A = this chain, B = another copy of it.
């Protein structure tokens, strides 16, 4: 992750139509990501072994929805149609969820943890390349929903109680990361403006596949470290 100074505020930056298109894509992707996270967490709540766990998942789902609302309102504020901005990202995310439906409570927790963490890494990568106003919003919705800590506690406990669970969940974590990368690469291939923003900021015009690859590598490395810390060899 490189550090760089402010590139200006939204009013200045959005005068460039490429920049504007990239931010609409980014906010649309994040907004649908939050709405989708809401749905998955609400679904996982059903698998909860007890009422307290169910309520904990529902609480996180409600927090994701609040993030969605902020992104939605921002899209409307800058004159975009939120539904239109989200639409290109519906199919990639739904495809991901279709092929990675958790078969039990623990798989659901690992998936939510992995998903949240990848999203946070991704936000961090992109935040430094954004205008001040968009960056403030992205950092705000990146705020922890308490999910990570909850999932880590429950998964560690389950592995302690039954070490064989670890092997199964390690495999699951690997599969999740593979599918996530596959879908992300699909999005990158289809959304030029967004991809340019990801790798070079507003000032880079050419599409740099090598830079995109490096970003994915950084995210994969962070994932690997997290899985190890969780007691899951990835």
Interface residues of A (CB under 8 A from B): 32, 35, 38-39, 42-43, 45-46, 50-52, 54-55, 58-59, 61-62, 65-66, 68-69, 72, 82-83, 86-87, 90
Sampled A-B contacts (22; CB under 8 Å): A32-B51, A35-B51, A35-B54, A35-B58, A38-B42, A39-B42, A39-B45, A39-B46, A39-B58, A42-B45, A50-B83, A51-B83, A51-B86, A51-B87, A51-B90, A52-B83, A55-B68, A58-B65, A59-B65, A61-B65, A62-B65, A62-B66
Nearest B residue to A54 via CB reads: B35
Q: What chain B residues lie within 8 Å of A55 (beta carbons)?
A: 35, 68, 72
Q: What chain B residues lie within 8 Å of A51 (beta carbons)?
A: 32, 35, 82-83, 86-87, 90
Bound-state Cα–Cα, A62 to B42, Å: 10
Q: What chain B residues lie within 8 Å of A46 (beta carbons)?
A: 39
Q: What chain B residues lie within 8 Å of A72 (beta carbons)?
A: 55
